[in-house]
Structure 1
Amino acid sequence: MNKKSVTIKNLDWNMAGDLYFPDHFDETKKYPAIVSAHPIGSSKEQTAGNIYGQALAQAGFLVLAFDASFQGESGGKLRHLENPGMRTEDFSYAVDYLVTLDYVDEEKIGVLGICGGGAYTIDAAKMERRFKAIGTVTAASIGRLWRETEFNPIKQLEEMAKQRTAEARGAEIRVDNALPDTVEVAKKMGIDDIDPLEAIEYYRTPRGQKPNGTNLSVYSHSTALVNYDPYHLIETLLTQPLLVIVGDKPGAFGAYRDGFEIIRRAGSKEKELFVLKGWSHYDLYDQPEPTRLALEKLVPFYKKYLG
């Protein structure tokens, strides 16, 4: 695997990235490039890099998988902060890095996002016109998910406000773990939905576990997530060629319905929803058959629009 670690300048901190190179890479040539964004609570070493990044590089693209600000090996404080405004801005800093590389064709840069990173990809692409082709795999809106927790967003916002006041007065910062340690523990807690159960199987076992795939979040600073809608104005602002891939086993994280919403609303003239029959949200992270099928759509899509 041809990969190197790189440093991406952000505001007053740096982001960490992994740059995946095509086979027989020649730095005297120019290559189409793809920015790859990891899921919520994940890291660049997981599905965005080691599965899709590596495969797209083998197909001839230069791929940059990066850790979101405040997460993984990237800088920024508070640690484990999930800030949607900054998370979408991270994409532009990733492009800023790519256009400094002589071997990147700046007119042929695309983007791919998985899970929550897919919804952030849609949001970022509305504003980042240097992205010429947009792909998502099992994209899901973290904002909608927060609002549907207990179906009582006002209660959540009031609790966050109280926690932030306490922290301003010196209380310890509350950092929540989104997942129980095992499926058995989750079931005892009454969790029976396919998405959180399969998330545990991915993040809490050797299958997908990585040191920086923490699934942690700062509770008092999650108010922006409750208010967040990555699909706002996509009818007008999202116009690039678009490929949305989902599995047809719906779960609580909502990627299946989000896929239909994105395609229905996007202003893109060239757009396609590809539904993988018999596969779930987390199957699309790393399982050989569904990821093969997804890549069989993604590779020709990017080749068509990035060359």
Structure 2
Amino acid sequence: MSHVQNVSYQNLGWETSADLYLPPAFDEKRRYPTIVSTHPIGSCKEQTSGNVYAKALAEQGFVVLAFDASFQGASGGAPRYIEDPAIRVSDIRFAIDYLVTLPYVDAERIGAIGVCGGGGYTIHAAMTDHRIKALVSITGVNFGRLIRESFSEFDPIGALQAMAQQRTAEAQGAPRHVIDYLPPTVEEGRNNGINDIDVLEATDYYKSPRGQQPNGATSGLFSFNSAAMGWDAFLQAEVLLTQPLMVIIGDKPGGFGAYRDGWEIYGRTASKDKHIVVAEGWSHYDLYDQPEPVRQALDALVPFFRERL
């Protein structure tokens, strides 16, 4: 069995909290291939990025770091629940900064994975941090596109105006407006006319014992979401993303757009060594924790990393 150490390290002006998953029969005198695992938006390190993928990769002989995003989970930073893509990408760089100080981490064999929004952040981080030697996006989502489209009800300018008003009000002393991205239950979502597979399955994962964790807040600070509006996870991929890339998606498309985003980055990347794995008959949230699609993902990504790290 792998084992887990909780660690913390310096970020910009606060501490990051992370779980370090170590392989069975771990020997700190050895040097291991190592992977940074980035959680979805509204998630935390104890959910799919940690307890599913980091755990499984550690059992296959990798050291894996699953961390909480700045302003979220057990990591520091204020105000809480900021989802700023530039800082989320910076978090991945700081995770690598920490890992390369560890004597048992081979700095020349560092890979990265991310789930959902974490997949988009991992892709963007790898473009500008070539310490990442290979990467896998698991049902990855380009949060910039998502917030310009369905999250703003296809009215990005109207949303930006509302965010601007709210940020001014908060600067002048109004309480922070923290939105929950999901309904409280699947039933309430359906009763309110929600029929999108991604929203309903996200609610089933995050709001029930299936995936619920104390720090999986599914929340965002509305006034600070404007930072994502002008951001694109895939910008400059044709020039800068040259490392080996694997994209894993389910073939049941939903409103968060991982299926289309997966094919888009697969087509756009400059990587010569690129692969797309489509889990047929499975959805975005099936790839978070359901045994069969997770097995399909691991059967692809474990040998991918073994050969390239």
Q: TM-score range by the shorter chain?
A: over 0.9
TM-score (norm 2): 0.98
Whether 1:142 aligns to 2:139 is no
Distance in 1, matches of 2:62 and 2:27, equals 12
Distance in 1, matches of 2:106 and 2:19, equals 18
Distance in 1, matches of 2:170 and 2:3, equals 45
Distance in 1, matches of 2:287 and 2:217, equals 19
User: Residue by residue, what CA displacement relative to the aligned partner does 1:121-175 show, whole Å, maximum 9, x if unpaired?
Assistant: 0011101110000101000111111111311100000111111111122111111
Distance in 2, matches of 1:247 and 1:61, equals 25
Distance in 2, matches of 1:14 and 1:169, equals 28
Which one-letter code corresponds to 1:268 in the other structure?
A: S
Distance in 1, matches of 2:26 and 2:172, equals 55
Whether 1:155 aligns to 2:148 is no
2:42 match = 41
Whether 1:175 aligns to 2:178 is yes
2:258 match = 255
Distance in 2, matches of 1:221 and 1:106, equals 34
For residues 1-307 of structure 1, what are the structure 2 equivalents within 5 Å? 1-149=2-150, 150-306=153-309
Q: Which runs of 4+ in 1 moved over 4 A?
A: none
Q: What count of residue pairs does the alignment treat as equivalent?
A: 306
Distance in 2, matches of 1:242 and 1:21, equals 24
Distance in 1, matches of 2:270 and 2:10, equals 31
Distance in 2, matches of 1:181 and 1:215, equals 10
Which one-letter code corresponds to 2:94 in the other structure?
A: Y
Secondary structure at the aligned position of 1:70 is classed as coil
**Unaligned ranges ≥5, structure 2:** none
Secondary structure at the aligned position of 1:41 is classed as coil
Distance in 2, matches of 1:213 and 1:101, equals 28
Distance in 2, matches of 1:165 and 1:210, equals 33
- Deviation, structure 1 residue 226: 1.4
Secondary structure at the aligned position of 1:195 is classed as helix
Secondary structure at the aligned position of 1:151 is classed as coil
User: Residue by residue, what CA displacement relative to the aligned partner does 1:74-93 show, whole Å, maximum 9, x if unpaired?
Assistant: 00011011011111000110
Deviates more, 1:38-47 or 1:157-166: 157-166
Which one-letter code corresponds to 1:113 in the other structure?
A: G
Secondary structure at the aligned position of 2:259 is classed as helix
Distance in 2, matches of 1:64 and 1:15, equals 12
Distance in 2, matches of 1:167 and 1:76, equals 17
Secondary structure at the aligned position of 1:18 is classed as strand
TM-score (norm 1): 0.99
